[in-house]
Amino acid sequence: MGMNKNTVLGWATFIMVLMGFLLIGLGVFRYSDVSGWGFGAVGVGFLANAWVFNALKGRV
């Protein structure tokens, strides 16, 4: 299995989306106080980062 740049970016995007939803889920369901907002914000940051990686995928 050849790992070219697009494959690596694809996997990185997938892992980031997974982590983003995991962190948002932790923030929503596990922590109800201020730390939940932190987890949610970091999760949204991961999703935004994954979106940027996905946009770069064809151009690198």
What is the rounded CA–CA span in Å between residue 54 and residue 9?
7
3 occurs within a structural domain: no
43 occurs within a structural domain: yes
How far from chain centre, in Å, is Cα 31? 19
Question: Could you list the residue range(s) of the whole structural domain that residue 28 is in?
Answer: 17-56
Give me the pLDDT at residue 2, please: 65
What is the rounded CA–CA span in Å between residue 1 and residue 51?
25
How many domains does one find in the chain? Answer: 1
CB atoms within 10 A of CB 58: 8
Give me the pLDDT at residue 15, please: 87
Positions in the chain short of pLDDT 50: none
1 occurs within a structural domain: no
Give me the pLDDT at residue 59, please: 66
pLDDT tens digits along 50-60: 888 778 776 66
What is the rounded CA–CA span in Å between residue 1 and residue 54?
21
Structure tokens at 2: 């050849």
